[in-house]
Structure 1
Amino acid sequence: MTKEEKIVQFDPNGLATGDRIYGLPFNSKDAEVVIFPVPWEVTVSYSGGTALGPEAVLEASKQVDLYDPYVRDAWKMGLYMAKIDTKWKERSDKYREKAVAYLGALETGHEDNKTAELLEKINHATHKMVKWVQESTSEYLDKDKLVVLLGGDHSTPLGYLKALAERHRSFGILQIDAHADLRDAYEGFDYSHASIMTNALKEERISKLVQVGIRDYCEEEVDAIAAQNGRVVTYFDRDLKRAKFEGKTWKEQVEEIIEHLPSKVYISFDIDGLDPKLCPNTGTPVAGGFDVEEVLYLFERLSESGRTIIGMDLNEVAPGPHDDWDANVGARILYRMCNLLGKNNGRI
């Protein structure tokens, strides 16, 4: 069946059926946007569950209505989620157990040769994960697909960023997050979720990092921001809120944020950038943060600014033990992000 035939036969107002994201009928060949799931959370330092995020979002997506007021007939573009690789989920579970043992030794001060061996094994596994993500996303990019990575913890997009750095001479990152993620090999992990932006900045082709909503950070990270001499611009949640209290509109703040970004932009969205009422089960929730429409307004204005959005990720969605609220919110955000990426790149 051709893509055109699928569009004619599909009822966007009907009940979602089947096992595909949002109940859409598309496959990897006829979809313009591919969601690449990465079920990985080896280095999380607080609560677990993010490795289950892709599966939970897939299930919750069946409850999402497909009308998008910003992108008319967005579903016709074609959206497909790659199969969740259970092998990598099993590896995540295996090395997460090793990480728990390793962190326990650090906390109690009982470090020995076995502890060092554990760290070496964990770092080797995370290096392999980054390489897998880089190779997999490269395959989709080579087929002219737009890619949205769905984590997993926030260490997962690094391979995708490397794949994009092979294809673009220069681009910036817009990061929505509660955390600065600028620690250097946090807890000894080369590719810690808390070090994702430190590792991203090692890519010379990433010319700018603009962080928005940061509200949980350490002195080391403040120093790291200053050391970048303007390559990193950080909008702390406290400062954004105080500016609003004193009369500055969100529109004005968004325009200022966007002015710092270059012509090509990658969006990295850690869901804990939102108010934790919207993601109570995320790995490291922090009081404060945004409502959904505030973040989506920023993304829409970015798209309207004439800049090209070259890729996106959504991370740290973790299903709760008693409900699917986090996945419900994540599935709706993911849909809007995918539609925006497609529109920005002229695919709809």
Structure 2
Amino acid sequence: MHSFFLTTSMVCLASASASKQPQEILNTHQPPSFIESSIFGRRLDASSVRTPETLPPRYRADDFDGDGILQGINTFAHLDFVECMKPESSGSFDIGIVGHPFDLGVSYRPGARFGPNGARQGARRMSPRGGWDMDHNLNPYQNWAKIVDCGDIANTPFDKLVAVHELEKGMQAINDRKPSNTSASDAVRLITIGGDHTISQSSFTFGEPLAYNVLALPILRALHSTWGRVAVLHFDSHLDTWDPKQLGGGLTKYSEVNHGTMLHIAHEEGLLSNNSNMHLGSRCTLFDEHYDLDNDLRCGFSYIRARELDKLGVDKVVKKIVERVGDEYVYLSVDIDVLDPAFAPATGTIEPGGWTTRELLQIINGLSDAGLKIIGSDVVEFTPIYDNAAETTGIALAQIVYEIIQWMVHVPVKSPKA
């Protein structure tokens, strides 16, 4: 024990003696600042940095293999942006992508006004240069049709009546443009991205009103002057031919106009074929045992329920549609809720038990192969706030639009006036 304390005392004395000696400085370099120790402390040779530039709302063809497809302001699939409503745009495009940021007609979850922006986000992996697809033998962006993004039609978020006036006026202006390739088609064709399904509704008809002071579909109404009555192929889990007294209560003229009554109203205005319209993928509940389906039949619709696909298969579904439509002009309306929530969770009024994305794409492709004369389309009810981190719904919607573009390119059409 005595030995231990002696040794400890000697060490302490030695340390005290050493502390009086000047310390040896081992490193004369001062500690670097944060900037010096970071990546910003290394300056690049200015000649190795590319000249600053403003990225346009599309990818640059010579930058496709670099970073151009991931940057810039989004248009759908990096298409050229054209102000299609302006008269000077006449002759500059054949097929236009048009956004309708509107959701004043929803009955459940709002937010579809952000759908056009979400769809463009979902399509940013696509491009005209990379438009070839293993299931199609052409690149639709590099074929006969000039395809552009027309941007969105501005409309007020505060007043449904004013908004539908604005949407109708915008659609009519674009529809009046002349196509770029008149040898293939004598009218432009539009794919509208919603927005809720009410985007088809337009302004009040003044003068001699019908029973509900009827509103027309702005898209179908704009098309009517060119194509006349059309057969509507309506991919949707819901009927959307509800009498406004059933959905909306018929309490006010505003309540009558919503995303579930627009096809009823379109029939009342005489925009639809008398007996060639179809609902596809239907699986909704009804308000009444008989009235809803009786009224749907009166509006000229038949239907193929979602569960029937398991028995019929894709080929028979396509065959039944082709037999129903015949040689009529076709307007395609796709509510994203036709897909099962597993494939499209981001929608306003969700219904389990729907079709897969692959099944829907196969059916649309089958209609294209059959040569049905498509004159316009919409894809609606995408509510991005309910999408997941993988952007499942937005990417599926973009692929559906791509399939519709393929159909329009594959089947050029002439108007009945030609």
- TM interval, shorter chain, is 0.7 to 0.9
In structure 2, the partner of 1:102 is none
**After superposition, where does 1:195-344 map in structure 2 within 5 Å?**
195-207=261-273, 208-218=276-286, 219=288, 220-228=291-299, 231-241=300-310, 244=311, 248-263=312-327, 264-320=329-385, 323=389, 324-344=391-411
Q: Give the secondary-structure state (helix, strand or coil) at the position aligned to 1:72.
A: coil
In structure 2, the partner of 1:139 is 176
Identity of aligned residues (%): 23
Provide structure 1 residue ranges, at least 5 long, that are not aligned to the other structure: 1-5, 96-121
In structure 2, the partner of 1:178 is 237
The one-letter code sitting in structure 2 at the alignment partner of 1:175 is H
Contact conserved, 2:112 with 2:196, CA < 8 A, in 1? yes
- CA distance in 2 between counterparts of 1:196 and 1:302 reads 24
**After superposition, where does 1:80-159 map in structure 2 within 5 Å?**
80-85=148-153, 87-88=154-155, 91-92=156-157, 94-95=158-159, 122=160, 124-125=161-162, 127-140=164-177, 144-157=187-200, 158-159=217-218
Q: 1:181 to 1:133 in 2, by over 3 A?
A: farther
RMSD: 2.8
Q: Give the secondary-structure state (helix, strand or coil) at the position aligned to 2:385.
A: coil
Q: 1:272 to 1:18 in 2, by over 3 A?
A: same
- CA distance in 1 between counterparts of 2:380 and 2:194 reads 5
**Deviation of 1:129 (Å):** 4.2
Which is richer in helix? 1
- CA distance in 2 between counterparts of 1:206 and 1:33 reads 22
**1:235-286 per-position Cα deviation (integer Å, ceiling 9, x unaligned):** 1223444xx1xxx332122211221013211111001001111211200110
Q: Give the secondary-structure state (helix, strand or coil) at the position aligned to 1:201.
A: helix
In structure 2, the partner of 1:115 is none
The one-letter code sitting in structure 2 at the alignment partner of 1:161 is L
- Bigger Cα Rg: 2
TM-score by length of 1: 0.78
Question: Does residue 1:24 correspond to 2:66, yes or no?
Answer: no
Q: Give the secondary-structure state (helix, strand or coil) at the position aligned to 2:197.
A: coil
Q: Give the secondary-structure state (helix, strand or coil) at the position aligned to 2:268.
A: coil
Q: Give the secondary-structure state (helix, strand or coil) at the position aligned to 1:194.
A: coil
**Deviation of 1:74 (Å):** 1.5
Provide structure 2 residue ranges, at least 5 long, that are not aligned to the other structure: 1-57, 181-186, 201-216
- CA distance in 2 between counterparts of 1:127 and 1:146 reads 20
The one-letter code sitting in structure 1 at the alignment partner of 2:352 is A
Equivalenced residues, count: 304
The one-letter code sitting in structure 2 at the alignment partner of 1:327 is G
**1:72-101 per-position Cα deviation (integer Å, ceiling 9, x unaligned):** 12222432222224x42xx22x34xxxxxx
Higher relative contact order (CA 8 A, sep 6+): 1
**Deviation of 1:184 (Å):** 2.0
**Deviation of 1:13 (Å):** 6.0
**Deviation of 1:139 (Å):** 3.0
Contact conserved, 2:317 with 2:363, CA < 8 A, in 1? no
In structure 2, the partner of 1:35 is 97
TM-score by length of 2: 0.66
- CA distance in 1 between counterparts of 2:271 and 2:165 reads 22
- CA distance in 1 between counterparts of 2:413 and 2:344 reads 31
**Deviation of 1:296 (Å):** 2.1
- CA distance in 2 between counterparts of 1:192 and 1:279 reads 22
**Deviation of 1:317 (Å):** 1.2
**1:95-152 per-position Cα deviation (integer Å, ceiling 9, x unaligned):** 4xxxxxxxxxxxxxxxxxxxxxxxxxx4x33542453354234334677322111110
Contact conserved, 2:241 with 2:263, CA < 8 A, in 1? yes
- CA distance in 2 between counterparts of 1:40 and 1:320 reads 15
The one-letter code sitting in structure 2 at the alignment partner of 1:22 is A
